[in-house]
A and B are shown apart, each in its own frame.
Chain A
Amino acid sequence: MQLVSKVIGDVLVVRVNEPRIDAAAAVEFKDAMRAATHDAAGRVVLDLSQVAMIDSSGLGAIVTVMKTLGDDRPLELAALTVNVAAVFRLTRMESVMKIHDCVDDAMDAVRSDA
Chain B
Amino acid sequence: MMRWTPCALMPDAATDAELSVISLDVPGTFEGVRWALAQTLQHLGEERYSVEERGTVELVLAEVLNNVVEHAYSGRDDGKIALEVRQTEAGLNVRVVDHGRPMPEGGLPIKPLSQPSDDLLSLPEGGFGWFLVGQLAHDHQYRRVDDCNCLTFRVTVG
Chain A residues with CB under 8 Å of chain B are: 20, 22-24, 53, 55-57, 59-60, 63-64, 66-67, 70-71, 82-83, 86-87, 90-93, 95-96
**Residues of chain B with a CB closer than 8 A to A93's CB:** 116, 123
Interface of A is mostly: helix
A57-B66 CB under 8 A given contacts A67-B121, A67-B123:
yes
**Residues of chain B with a CB closer than 8 A to A63's CB:** 123-125
Highest count of chain B CB atoms <10 Å: which of A66, A67, A91: A91
> Are B125 and A64 in contact, with the CB atoms below 8 A?
yes
Docked complex Cα distance between A45 and B62 (Å)? 27
Docked complex Cα distance between A20 and B62 (Å)? 12
> Are B123 and A96 in contact, with the CB atoms below 8 A?
yes
**Residues of chain B with a CB closer than 8 A to A64's CB:** 125
> Are B59 and A23 in contact, with the CB atoms below 8 A?
no
Q: How far is the CB of A26 from chain B (nearest CB, A)?
A: 9
Number of interface residues of B (CB under 8 A): 32
> Are B62 and A92 in contact, with the CB atoms below 8 A?
no
> Are B30 and A22 in contact, with the CB atoms below 8 A?
yes
> Are B55 and A82 in contact, with the CB atoms below 8 A?
yes
Docked complex Cα distance between A63 and B116 (Å)? 11
> Are A82 and B51 in contact, with the CB atoms below 8 A?
yes
**Residues of chain A with a CB closer than 8 A to B116's CB:** 91-93, 95-96
> Are B123 and A66 in contact, with the CB atoms below 8 A?
yes
**Residues of chain B with a CB closer than 8 A to A56's CB:** 63, 126, 128-129, 132
Closest to B29 in A: A24
Binary CB contact string for chain B from 54 to 72 against chain A (1 if under 8 A, 0 otherwise): 0110110011001001100
Closest to A71 in B: B120
| B52 on the A face (CB < 8 A) | yes
> Are A60 and B125 in contact, with the CB atoms below 8 A?
yes
Closest to B41 in A: A53
Docked complex Cα distance between A71 and B123 (Å)? 13
Docked complex Cα distance between A86 and B132 (Å)? 10
A-B contact sample (10 more), CB < 8 A, given A56-B128, A82-B52, A90-B136: A23-B69, A55-B62, A60-B126, A63-B124, A63-B125, A66-B120, A67-B121, A83-B59, A87-B59, A95-B116
